[in-house]
Amino acid sequence: MTHKLLLLTRENDKYRELLSNCNLPHLTILGDSPDSIMQSDIWFAEPNLAAPLLNHAKNLRWLQSTFAGVDKLISTRQRRDYILTNIRGIFGPLMSEYLFGYLLAHQRQHQKYQQQQQQKQWLPGSYQTLQGQHLLLLGTGSIAQHIASTAKHFGMTVTGINRQGMATASFDKVGTLAQLNDFLPKADVIASVLPHTEETHNILNQHTLTLLKPKAMLFNLGRGNVLDLDDLDSHLSQHPEQQAILDVFNQEPLPAEHPIWARSNAIITPHIAAPSFPEQVVEVFCHNYALWLKQQPLINLVDFTKGY
Amino acid sequence: MTHKLLLLTRENDKYRELLSNCNLPHLTILGDSPDSIMQSDIWFAEPNLAAPLLNHAKNLRWLQSTFAGVDKLISTRQRRDYILTNIRGIFGPLMSEYLFGYLLAHQRQHQKYQQQQQQKQWLPGSYQTLQGQHLLLLGTGSIAQHIASTAKHFGMTVTGINRQGMATASFDKVGTLAQLNDFLPKADVIASVLPHTEETHNILNQHTLTLLKPKAMLFNLGRGNVLDLDDLDSHLSQHPEQQAILDVFNQEPLPAEHPIWARSNAIITPHIAAPSFPEQVVEVFCHNYALWLKQQPLINLVDFTKGY
């Protein structure tokens, strides 16, 4: 039997080239014409591009997402009669680079020393080391586990929050979302890598933000809707010593008129913390395709009811 | 027998307080009067403050340096008839914070995204990950070993250089100073944590600097005289894509008229990569004092002939 693959990304040429280096027997790669959408049984797709076309996908049996975030595909109105796999695991190291890059830049005062250099001033000052500081991670999946292991390497104490409060490697302690209000006041650094679900929607809001330490740093790296951005903006205006580093937003690109762009204690980056490198996405797909041919379970399966 | 301790630091009050929390039987802590200098058998001192007074130290038997760098005390003209201990080990984590803070800030393009934020621009771009990059460490002592372990955590390949080319934990490969010219062209990141000795003097100069990769990053965190600063300055002016991050200098403070202050691809910090935290210095001293009383070998002994 021959399989038909629909390529549905903003980098189809790049992916076509990479896929040609893979051993993919019995597979024909199609473009994204209406015919291809109807005929293909396998999709290799960005969730936001695939979502509006799902209802025309008569033959769809398996969709390999090129992203980690698949919320566009699992809203309750969408069909769920196919196998959905996503990208995982490869993001941990990139997220750690992003998080610890900004964390160290802030704590080791890059900006202050840059200004001093501009004025040719030699003024050594004191600072905090990460050693002994407390990191609270919202999420304990593969990305959070990698961040936790980096934090432990830097001598931090790490608490994680997940659905069941189940213990996980690299964390000193793990609690549930219901304990968020107990954990927030103890954390020097808070980082959310949570997916967007009903339970995580806007859990960081004007009420919970008041629980932060006076000099807390808050990262949002998972999904924009875990955080109420307007609440955060007004909170930051009243807490100039706190710092927010945001890579994901409810609406992307973040609209130019949003006041948080200009907030001096907010850092805004355009969803770059952990992009999927095409080489790694192709590696996952090729591995999964081999399993598919052998009718074995695929890796990185998404559970539609959990949402991740 | 009662011991007399000379306190010779810029933070004597702070140290006096911290030492009072330690169990130090038979020890009287003196100020830094000429009498005290003559009478004290134990010195707790900054090397630069102690060096000019050594010849008046009639009773000196042991000097605990509050710094790692003791070159001021071991020049050939100085006496060597006492036991010298310094501070080690505690610097590794701080050096890693400094190095990886600046490394990640550069590679993950903090400056570019800061400028984009100021203009409210959402322009995700591509970047390099540390994974797979090559770090060359000049030095393989306790500081270098800690930096190497951080680099391994971030997925880098690590080569070290030491006197004998002796293998050391956390390094993928270790060579000798004589192999420097073979190693430099392969490194994406070079960091020197070498002490200043005859063999390390100006080993980074106009000849060796030409061996760097086009986008190499060079850190000097050990001693200023390992690097010819004027050579580096003119080299950087001709290689705008290379980047130097300098925390130590031949002359400190770095004179305001030095052109490297204004070099856009140089970052200058005022010897802050790894300060001795007084709490940790006191911990070393109190441990050593207990050994001293028991006439056991002290930790962190400096070998006058090696120079570290």
CA distance A289 to A24: 7
User: From the list A93, A124, A270, which residue is nearest B272 (CB)?
Assistant: A124
CA distance B191 to B148: 10
Interface touch B124/A270, C-beta < 8 Å: yes
* Shortest Cα–Cα distance, B168 to chain A (Å): 19
User: From the list A105, A153, A261, which residue is nearest B120 (CB)?
Assistant: A261
Interface touch A270/B131, C-beta < 8 Å: no
User: β-pairing, B27-30 with B42-45?
Assistant: unpaired
Residue B45: its H or E element: strand B42-45
CB B41 within 8 A of CB B3: yes
A3-89+276-293 shares its CATH topology with A91-268: yes
CB B132 within 8 A of CB B107: no
Specify the pLDDT at position B167: 83
Please name the residue of chain A whose CA is at the shortest distance from the CA of residue B252. Answer: A122
Which residues in chain B touch residue A102, judged by CB atoms under 8 angstroms apart? 110
Confidence band (pLDDT; 50, 70, 90) for A164?
confident
Look at the block and give the residue holding tokens 């570019």.
B112
Which residues in chain B touch residue A272, judged by CB atoms under 8 angstroms apart? 113, 124-125, 127
Interface touch A254/B155, C-beta < 8 Å: no
pLDDT at A76 over 80: no
pLDDT at A276 over 80: no
- Can you give the residue ranges of every domain in chain A? 3-89+276-293, 91-268
**CB within 8 Å of A303: residues ≥ 6 apart:** none
Which residues in chain A touch residue B268, judged by CB atoms under 8 angstroms apart? 113, 117
pLDDT at A307 over 80: no
* Shortest Cα–Cα distance, A236 to chain B (Å): 17
DSSP for residue A226 = G
User: From the list B108, B275, B277, which residue is nearest A97 (CB)?
Assistant: B108
Interface touch B124/A271, C-beta < 8 Å: yes
User: From the list B97, B120, B253, which residue is nearest A129 (CB)?
Assistant: B97
Q: CATH number of the domain at A91-268, please?
A: 3.40.50.720
Interface touch B101/A96, C-beta < 8 Å: no
Mean pLDDT over the full length of chain A: 93
Specify the pLDDT at position A209: 98
CA distance A190 to A156: 12
Specify the pLDDT at position B75: 78
Please name the residue of chain A whose CA is at the shortest distance from the CA of residue B249. Answer: A122
Which residues in chain A touch residue B117, judged by CB atoms under 8 angstroms apart? 261, 267-269
Interface touch B97/A107, C-beta < 8 Å: yes
CA distance B302 to B69: 10
Look at the block and give the residue holding tokens 């219901």.
A178
Residues of chain B with pLDDT under 50: none
Q: CATH number of the domain at A3-89+276-293, please?
A: 3.40.50.720
CA distance B270 to A274: 33
Q: Choose, out of A267, A268, A279, A280, the residue to mutate when testing the contact with B (most B CBs < 10 Å).
A: A268
> How many Cβ pairs closer than 8 A exist between chain A and B?
116
Confidence band (pLDDT; 50, 70, 90) for A82?
very high
Cα dist from A195 to A161, A168, A308, whole Å: 12, 18, 7
Q: In the predicted model, what is the mean pLDDT of residues A221-237?
A: 96
- Among A112-121, A255-264, B62-71, the minimum mean pLDDT is found in B62-71
Interface touch A93/B131, C-beta < 8 Å: yes
CB B160 within 8 A of CB B211: no
CA distance A89 to A79: 26
Confidence band (pLDDT; 50, 70, 90) for A163?
confident
Interface touch B97/A253, C-beta < 8 Å: no
Which residues in chain A touch residue B116, judged by CB atoms under 8 angstroms apart? 270
Superfamily of B93-268 according to CATH = NAD(P)-binding Rossmann-like Domain (3.40.50.720)
| pLDDT (tens digit per residue) in B57-103 | 999 999 999 988 888 898 767 899 999 999 886 789 999 999 999 99
Complex ipTM > 0.90: no
